[in-house]
Amino acid sequence: MRRPHRHLLCATLRRGLSFALVVLFIFSPGLGAGWDFNAISTQTERLYGPATPAARQRIDEWAALLKNPPQGTIQDKLNQVNRFFNARMAFKDDIVVWHQQDYWATPIEFLRKGAGDCEDFALAKYFTLREMGVPANQLRITYVKALQLNQAHMVVTWYATPDAIPLVLDNLKTAILPATQRTDLLPVYAFNGEGLWLPQSGGNKRVGDSKRLSRWQDLLTRMRAEGFEINE
Read off the CATH number of the domain in which 192 is found: 3.10.620.30
Total structural domains in the chain? 1
Kindly report the number of other CB atoms within 10 A of residue 75's CB atom: 13
Per-residue pLDDT band at 203 (split at 50, 70, 90): confident
- 152 in Cβ contact with 145 (< 8 Å): yes
Q: Is residue 232 part of a domain?
A: no
3 state SS of 68: coil
pLDDT tens by residue, 11-54: 333 333 233 333 333 333 343 348 999 999 999 999 999 999 99
Indicate the DSSP class of residue 165: P
Residue 196: is its pLDDT beyond 80? Answer: yes
Q: Which domain holds residue 208?
A: 6-225
Q: What is the mean pLDDT of residues 103-115?
A: 98
Q: Is residue 56 part of a domain?
A: yes
Residue 202: is its pLDDT beyond 80? Answer: no
